[in-house]
Each structure stands twice: as C-alpha cells, then as structure tokens.
Amino acid sequence: MNAANIPLDHLMLLACLIFVIGLVGIMTRRNVLYILMSLEIVLNAVCLAFVAAGAHWGEADGQIMFLLILTLAASEVSVGLGLILQIHRKHDTLDMDRLKELKG
Amino acid sequence: MLHAIGWVPLFPLLGFLVLVFVRMPARLAAWVGCGSVGISALVVFASALMYLQAPPEDGYQAITYGIWMSIGNFQPAFSVYVDTLTLIMLSIITGVGFLIHVYSAGYMVDDDGYARYFAYLNLFIAAMSVLVLADNLLLLFLGWEGVGLCSYLLIGFWYRDPENGAAARKAFVVTRIGDTAMTIGFLLLFAHFSTVNIPAILAAVVNADTTDTDVYVLIGLLLLGGAVGKSAQLPLQTWLPDAMAGPTPVSALIHAATMVTAGVYLIARLHPIFVQAPLAMHAVAWVGLLTLLLAGCSALVQVDIKRILAYSTISQIGYMFLGLGVGAWSASIFHLMTHAFFKALLFLSAGTVIFCLHHKQNIFDMGGLRTRMPLTFISFVIGCGSLASLPYITSGFYSKDEILLGAYNSGEALVFWGGVAGALITAVYSFRLLFIVFFGDPHTTPDKSPSLNMQVPLVLLGILSVLGGAIHLPLQNVLPLGTHEDSAHDHTPISVLLAVIPLLGVALAWFLFKRGRLGSAAWGQAQGAPSLVSFWRKGWAFDQLYDGLLVRPFVALANFNKKDVVDALYHGITQLAQWLHFQVSHTQTGNVRWYAGAMVFGVTLLTSAVVFL
C-alpha cells in the first residue's frame, strides 16, 4: 500500500486524535511518569502531522522537523526522568496532586 | 566704583554660608556674624559718600551684574537700582543691623544656638539688602520672601516651646495673605507693561494716559495688601505682637527697625502708581490712621514690655502709612529712619532689662530700675522721648511733625486730627512704660549687668535718636515734593499745637500712672480689669475674630474632609486593582494538571479566535 494514496485529511485527523489522547492523558493522569509519557504522545502526534504534510507537498522540511522534535523529545525525557527521580527521592510520591508546594 | 554696592548682600550671605557649614566656637561665630555685616555697612557708607559727591544726572543709577534667567524677551537680571532712597534704606539696614549684631553677641551669650542665631541674622541682612537694591519686581520679591523666611525662623528660634512655633507660623501665614495680594499686583503690572523692570514701569506710569486710572487703583490696592501684611497694618496686624516670641534683638532688628518697614519702602518705591490712583492713596492714609489709633489704644493697657513696644511699632508704622497716604513721601521715609533708631534703642534697652531681670517681661515685676541701671534708664528716656516726640530735642518730633504737617496741608481734617490724637496716646503709653518700669517701688533686683558690647550699641543708638532729627534726607530727586514742604501757609499755630501735645501726654501719664493708682500692679492683672481694658489688651479681639471667622471654619472643614473627596477616585482604582489581583491569584493552585488545563483552554480560545473571527 502506497503511503501517498492516503489522503492528507485522514493523516491530519489521526494526528489530531493522537494529540487529544495525549492531552487528555496530561490533564487526567496523576502519576507524573504517565504525564511524561502523555507528553511524548503529544509530541509524536505533532511529528506525524509534520511528516504527513512533508510527504503531501513533496518537501523534506517535514522530516527535518521530525528529526528536530525527536532530539528535543529525547533530551526532554532524560531531563524529565532525572527530575522525577529526584521528586521521588525527596517526597516519596509521584502524585502530582500532592506536590503543590509552589502554590501562590 | 558704585559697582561695589553689589557686594552688600554678598558679605552677609557668605557669613550665613560659613556659619551654617563650618562648626566653630561661639566667639568666632560672633566675629563672623558681626564682621560680615560690618563690612557691608562700610561698603554702604563709602558708596553713599561717593554717590552724594557725584550724583548721577537722572537721579538714579542702575547696575546690572548678570542675567538671572532668560525666557524669550523676558530677562530679569541681577541688577540693582541705586538712588538716595536705596542708600538711606541700606544705611539703616546695615548700620542699625550691625549695632544689633554687636548687641546680640552679648545678649545671646548663654544660648546653645549661637551660630544658628547669627546665621539667620546674616541671611536676613542679605535678603533685606536684596529687597531694597532690586531694580526689578522679581528680585524684589526674592528679597521680600527672604526676609519673611528669616522672620519665621527667628520668631521660632527657641523652637522647643510649641508656643513660639505657633507664633512663627502665624507670622508666616498672615503675611502670606498680603504676599498673595502683592503677587497678583505684580502680575497685573507685568501684564500691563510687559516688563518687571521697576524704572521702566515707573516711567510708563508717569507718561501714561491719566484718564483711565482704574487699573492703577486696583494695582495700588493689591500692593497695599502686600504692604499691610509685611508692615503689620490693619487688618493683618495680628502677627506682630505674637512675633515678640523671638529673641529681643531680633524684635529690634526685624520687627521694629527694618523688615516691618518694607511695606513703607514698597509704596514709596512705587509711588507713581499711587499718585495716579487717588483712591489707593486714600486707602493708604486711612489704613495708617486706623492702625495707629487702634494699636495706640492697645499699647496703653499691655503689661508685657515687649508687647507694648510691638503695639507702638504697629502704631508708628501707621504714621508712616498716613504720611504716604497724604503725599508726605519724604516725611514718611524720614520717620522710617528716626523710628528705626529710637525703636531699636527702645527694644535693646528693654532687652537689657529683660536680660538683667532673668527674663521677666511683665512691667509690674520691674519698677525702680532708675538707680540700678542708669545707662539703660537714660537710653530708655531718650527712646521714649523720641517715641512720644518730645519737641525740639528728639528726632521723633521732627519726623512726626512733618507727617502731621503734611496731613494738615493735604486738607484731610479727619486724618490730621486723628493723627494728633494718636500723638497724644503715643506720649501717654510711652511714658506709662517709663514710669512703671523705672520709677516706683522695685519688685525684682537685677542680678546681672550688661556687657560692654551691649552697652556700646545703646550709646550709639541713643546719640542717633537725639541727633537723627537733624539729618536732612536728600530725597528731592526720588520722591515728589511732599505736601509738608508746601511753605505757602503759615503753620505757626499747628506747630505750637504739635509741640504741646506730647508734653500734655507726658503730664497725663504722670498723673495717671505715677501719681494715680493706674500704675499699680492691680491694673496689671488680667482679671478684674474693666472690659474695655481687657478688650484693648487683647488687641481689639482681632485674634478672636479671625479665629472664629477663618481658623475654626477651616479646621472644621479640614476635619470634615479628612479622607479627601478628590482622592477617593484614585483610591478606588487601586482598590479595584487589588481586588482583581486577589481574585486571579486564587487560580494559582500549585496543581500542575490545573495549569495544563488552563493552558489548553487558553490556547483553544486563542486559536478559535484566530480561526473563526
């Protein structure tokens, strides 16, 4: 099956769907680890949109953007995991609703 | 060489700066304070001699030292205006001022604020010299406000007593009322003539169309407002008796000899305006007449030695205003000069009495000081004689004589006879003071004797008070020929009358206060005195009147509007902002999921706005 045959609208709808799934995950999950994973889903949805658009227009820009986001996501995950490790050590919990010390 | 006159205000100003910024022992402070004024006095006398030897052809000399500020065509300068009037005023200010400085060095010897005292006094001399030297209204105003400031500072010199502070504030605020009127007058002059230069204004006034005098009347009355404020005339006279809270030499210098005569100087300097406005002239004469009678009656019944002298000062300045009002210009300036001599003498003598009787001021606590303080007694006799204008032997006689002759020749019978009655009252109250303080039974023994630098000024001022009447002031080029110099009439009966009146007053004082029982201490008590006496003692209850009419309603209004209606709007804006802030700060929960939700909501909102709008 040729990827070029899939209409752009479908790909975009898929990307939106994945994006919303990730977003809902961020907003509903209480465990910070799952929030980080939902964030990855959101990023991947964006990547999909970029790649699909690049393929549609026959440009390489979408794939370059995907590579950039991939790098960003990798570094973000490494920093995020480090922070989560520290939070766990300090507070002995990963429940976001209990970590409210920055309340104004 | 007349250029040197510009240094006259600078020496005292320099003295002021040195005294303020350099800490020094009291002896040195006295040297700096007296020395700077002494140098100025020498400069003035040298300039006066030079001026009289070679008088400039047009009757005055203007010297410009520099531009003060430059706003388009409006360029008031640091420039002085030298004529004989200026020189006479400067001689009084620096000459009498120097003597009073020397006296102060002895009088204030035990005071903590010695250097501060001389600093203020020097600043006063500087400001007063600027006032009389100024050749434009702006510079004159600078000096005018400067002397007001110094007056305020020196009345409240002993600031630890709240009463002195209140007296100082009162003096400042009451004169401010007059100053406001004067400022409006100055602005009108500027609006009318487009210049603040005094010679230019006066020349324009002299050459102006005489049919339209309304504006001159208005300006004249406004300037009179400033003059009555500074010179403590009706209706703004209430501050001067309270101003006696300051040290006695200050009362002598500022509140008797120099500053309070600034109003007289102002009117004399701007006399062409008043010549063009007969109504304003009448107002000046009547203000003077009423003031001299009212203040004379109040002086009759006072028990505080300084308050007697304060009321007599108000009364004598009333004579000067009367003289100005009837057109006896040079007679008024003559009286200004002799008054400066004998009133400074009286105040310094009173100061000596107060100094030696450990600061007692009630005249009924004194008595019998004639033999104990002979020098003070002699100066007091000379001063009181001059004040009462005893004929032929005192300077006060000659000057007051000229003013009353001027009033007689002007044809204003009421003003003349009022002035004569005032002369009688003057003689009675001045000799009442003399009899009660220096005759009779002693009540307090002096425990100190005045030092040499207190005695020398007394002697010199005493000599001036006797011989001052012989000075002929060369004012004929500056002020118009006065009504008193009109020799067409035969004045012999009037002259005899004016010579007899003071003697009558002295005799009356003798019978009432020396032989009679009115000189006894019982009359000094505030209670039990007849109501007229206590009414006069309170200065015709003007203080109570103003208190009820102006002060209380104002304070009540201020209390009522404590929160300030105008501020409410701005206060409301801050309150609203604060309230909104607290509302929004509730959203800051610290809950990350809530933040994420808010972000999503916001982005959705913005995106839909972009897409759909």
Contacts with B597 from chain A: Cβ below 8 Å: 27
At a CB cut-off of 8 Å and minimum separation 6, what does B270 contact? B198, B201, B202, B223
Q: Which amino acid is at B444?
A: T
Query: What was the pLDDT predicted at A1?
Result: 46
- The pair of three-digit structure tokens given for residue B567, joined into one six-digit string: 């501020």
- Any CB–CB contact under 8 A between A39 and chain B? no
- Any CB–CB contact under 8 A between A101 and chain B? yes
Binary contact (B596, A27; C-beta < 8 A): yes
State the Cα–Cα distance between residues B156 and B160, nearest whole angstrom. Answer: 9
Query: What was the pLDDT predicted at B185?
Result: 92
Residue of A nearest to B592 (CA): A96
- Provide the H-helix boundaries in B5-53: 10-21, 26-53
Contact of A88 with A36, CB cutoff 8 Å: no
Contacts with A16 from chain B: Cβ below 8 Å: none
Average pLDDT per block of 10 residues along chain B, 613 residues long: 82 91 86 91 90 80 84 83 88 91 87 87 92 90 92 90 90 91 92 86 80 83 91 87 88 87 91 87 90 89 88 91 88 90 91 84 79 86 88 84 86 86 90 85 76 86 86 76 60 81 86 71 59 78 85 89 84 93 84 86 93 89
Nearest to A27 among B585, B588, B600 (CB): B600
> Quick one: how many helices (H) and strands (E) in chain B?
25, 2
State the Cα–Cα distance between residues B484 and B271, nearest whole angstrom. Answer: 16
CB pairs under 8 A between A and B: 32
The structure's pTM equals 0.78
B356 membership: H or E segment, kind and range: helix B329-356
Burial class from Cβ neighbours inside 10 Å (0-12, 13-18, 19+) for residue B424 reads: middle
SS3 readout for B175-239 = HHHHHHHHHHHHHHHHHHHCCCEHHHHHHHHHHCCCCCCHHHHHHHHHHHHHHHHHCCCCCCCCH
Nearest to A103 among B589, B593, B600 (CB): B589
Residue A104, min C-alpha distance to chain B (Å): 5
For residue B547, give the DSSP letter: I
Nearest to A27 among B588, B590, B593 (CB): B593
Q: Do you find a cis peptide bond into B235, omega within 30 degrees of 0?
A: yes
Binary contact (B597, A102; C-beta < 8 A): no
At a CB cut-off of 8 Å and minimum separation 6, what does B598 contact? B587
Nearest to A103 among B588, B593, B600 (CB): B588
State the Cα–Cα distance between residues B435 and B381, nearest whole angstrom. Answer: 10
Q: Each residue of B511-553: pLDDT tens digit?
A: 887 776 666 665 655 555 667 777 777 878 888 888 888 889 9
Binary contact (B590, A23; C-beta < 8 A): no
The residues with which B66 forms a beta bridge, in sequence order, are B78
Displacement of CA B126 from its chain's centroid (Å): 15
Q: Each residue of A15-60: pLDDT tens digit?
A: 999 999 999 998 888 888 999 999 999 999 999 999 999 988 888 9
Q: Which amino acid is at A104?
A: G
List residues of chain B with CB under 8 Å from any CB of chain A: 585, 588-593, 596-597, 600
Nearest to A96 among B588, B593, B600 (CB): B593
Contact of B423 with B401, CB cutoff 8 Å: no
The residues with which B63 forms a beta bridge, in sequence order, are B80
Burial class from Cβ neighbours inside 10 Å (0-12, 13-18, 19+) for residue A38 reads: buried
pLDDT higher at B150 or A5: B150
- Any CB–CB contact under 8 A between A89 and chain B? no
State the Cα–Cα distance between residues B558 and B581, nearest whole angstrom. Answer: 33
User: Which residue in B403, B420, B409 sits closest to B293, CA to CA?
Assistant: B420
ipTM: 0.82
Residue A54, min C-alpha distance to chain B (Å): 23
- The pair of three-digit structure tokens given for residue B130, joined into one six-digit string: 């600027």
Query: What was the pLDDT predicted at B435?
Result: 86
At a CB cut-off of 8 Å and minimum separation 6, what does B612 contact? none
B111-136 CB burial, b ≥16 within 10 A, e <16: eeebbbbbbbbbbbbbbbbbbbbbbb
- The pair of three-digit structure tokens given for residue A41, joined into one six-digit string: 């889903």
State the Cα–Cα distance between residues B388 and B380, nearest whole angstrom. Answer: 12
Nearest to B591 among A29, A35, A100 (CB): A100
Residue of A93, A95, A102 to mutate when probing chain B, most B C-beta within 10 A = A102
Residue B598, min C-alpha distance to chain A (Å): 10
Distance, first Cα to last Cα, chain A: 55
Query: What was the pLDDT predicted at B24?
Result: 84
Span A67-75, average pLDDT? 94
- Cα–Cα distances (Å) from B442 to A56, B290, B372, B541, in that order, read 124, 37, 10, 32
- Any CB–CB contact under 8 A between A28 and chain B? yes
Distance, first Cα to last Cα, chain B: 86
State the Cα–Cα distance between residues A54 and A60, nearest whole angstrom. Answer: 6
State the Cα–Cα distance between residues B60 and B474, nearest whole angstrom. Answer: 12
B81 membership: H or E segment, kind and range: strand B77-82
Binary contact (B600, A23; C-beta < 8 A): yes
pLDDT higher at A2 or B187: B187
